[in-house]
A and B are shown apart, each in its own frame.
Chain A
Amino acid sequence: MKQVPDTQHVKIDPEKGTLIRKGVPAVTNPFDESALELALEIKEKLGAKITVLTMGIPDSECMLRDALALGADCGILLTDAGFAGADTLATSYALSRAIETIGNFELLIFGKQAIDGDTAQVGPEVAGHLDIPVITFVMGAQEVTENSIVVERMLDNGKEIVRSGYPVLITVVKAERRLRMPTLDGLLTSFDLRVQKLGVSDIGADIQRCGLKGSPTRVKKIFTPKQRSRVMLIRGSIEEKAKGFVDILHGEGILS
């Protein structure tokens, strides 16, 4: 899971062209909420132990606490200055080290992408590091048993039904159902659970492969997209609007 700035409220410093993060609320990445909901549904059906894992600033603990209140069994927060500035390769390396340290996993569920970076690379890259199969862009699970999972996967022009044994990593697009609300019982139970914080050395990671040091890509420049000119309103009666619109289509060369 990942805590992200709410992109709806992200503002840009018009002079520097950089993001103003101050005062922007942090939210749980919506795709990760779908991932958590799927995990909770599988737990209800088959019984399972859910571990929620994130890498981020200490503040991300509250996101994991929320997940525990919903029924996750164990929360792990990777937090260490050594992880800072990681690109997808370094992030996926650290996560894969953490997953191996936790051990004993069958199904890894990731959100398709985080809404801040939008890369959709961390899930498949973790599968690459762990050398396990990956199924991306999963819309939902059709069948989950103790030995295998059958999922529906979104393609650009259709869908696929894919089966895999365990362990397997899937990245989910959007669950059919939204993430549930916590219950009072769940909330009370979660008070007894603790979020475990792990650093670079706790997961046996090579510091050279973590954070900025372990990141082959570098951001050279950030800028804001060119602003569009102001909207031109087509006014008049309905017929005049329609005619104005068709004139535009001619003008833009769309209608000849």
Chain B
Amino acid sequence: MKEESLWVLVEKRNDAIHPVTLELLTKARDLNKSLQGTLVAVMIGKATERDSSFLGLYGAEEVLEIQSQEGTIQCPEVMAEILCMAASEEHPSIILAGATAFGRTLMPLIAVQLNTGLTADCTELKIDSDRKILLQTRPAFGGNILAVIECSSSSPQMATVRPHVFKMMKASRPVRAVRRSSRYNPVVKRVTEVLERVIQDVQVDITQADIIVSGGRGLGKAEGFDLLKQLSDTLGGMTGASRGAVDLGWISPVHQVGQTGHTVNPRLYIACGISGAVQHIAGMKGSEVIVAINEDPEAPIFEIADYGLIGDLYDIVPAILKEIAVSEEH
């Protein structure tokens, strides 16, 4: 029987490899212990020498470049098409991608063409070693439940994985990734056209933050975010917001945490003036440590917080900033 292969789709952003790709490679190495297959990092477009040695550091045994004969590819339809051409030739047993805008657009298109199952936004992956089946855990119903899903009747098994859930670690023994290249001639003719791409400061991608200081309606005014930004800057984190604050126009939607915004899993989440609507909690309950600062002791946010500070955030946050400054002097 042909050896199994496990594919991780490489996501590049501003010419740098997205951290979620490295998180996936780290996890895939672990999965591969029971599968004993080949770990392949699949790149749509050209992989530089630097890319492949970097991917090798995280355990990619092969780097497969998939290119179009027509040159650079931008739209998901064509990416999906040539990726499926490659998958039909190589029959990977598993395909993983980040649950980012890129992965969550591309993977469904691939799953349909390959006529297989796809599990969205997983937070845990395991191999059932007896059956060599991928067990995919994902939250549903706004994070109220977790479901373990498998796809044993069709191949490949496909999943998108939430960024920042798995740790990224270099392989103990670096691999020298073998670079291969395949070219395909896509037939998709009608495509979408990107007229403009506005990439905000990469710092604004809060899904990558280790520390998030978030504000809600309880701030009372847009200027409250200036204070929160001081705290997040001091801690080396980023600023988040609840939907309420975004809807009031106090801060841009790229900061929004929750069901209609981003799902985040930082080491520390500080919720300031956020009551804790179910939709908000769904987006941040995976945080390692949750601290709530709120005037209302009955606010539901305290039900999921590890630590609570009851009081006016306009008193407490400046006092915290002062205390941090003092503690750093020592």
Contact = CB atoms under 8 A, between A and B. Distances in A.
Assign chain B's interface to a size class. 35 or more
| A contacts with B: majority SS | mixed
Interface string B187-213: 000111111111110101101000100
Contact of A218 (B121, B152, B194): B152
B167 interface: no
A199 to B, nearest CB: 23
**Dominant SS at the B interface?**
mixed
Contacts of B13: 157
A234 B123 CA distance: 31
Interface residues of A, number: 81
A241 B145 contact: no
Contacts of A255: 235, 324, 327-328
Interface string A169-180: 000011000000
Contacts of B140: 116-118
Contacts, number: 259
B242 to A, nearest CB: 14
A224 interface: yes
A88 B120 CA distance: 10
Given A7-B141, A133-B75, A254-B268, A234 B307 contact: yes
A218 B198 contact: no
A46 interface: no
Contacts of B149: 217-220
Interface string B94-136: 0000001100110111011101111111000000000000010
Interface of B: 13, 75-77, 80, 100-101, 104-105, 107-109, 111-113, 115-121, 135, 139-154, 190-200, 202, 204-205, 207, 211, 235, 253-254, 259-260, 262, 267-268, 277-279, 282, 285, 289-292, 302-311, 315-316, 319-320, 322-324, 327-328
22 contacts: A7-B259, A10-B142, A89-B111, A115-B259, A117-B120, A128-B80, A128-B108, A128-B111, A132-B190, A133-B75, A133-B77, A155-B199, A156-B101, A157-B204, A158-B254, A160-B194, A163-B192, A217-B150, A221-B147, A232-B308, A241-B309, A245-B316
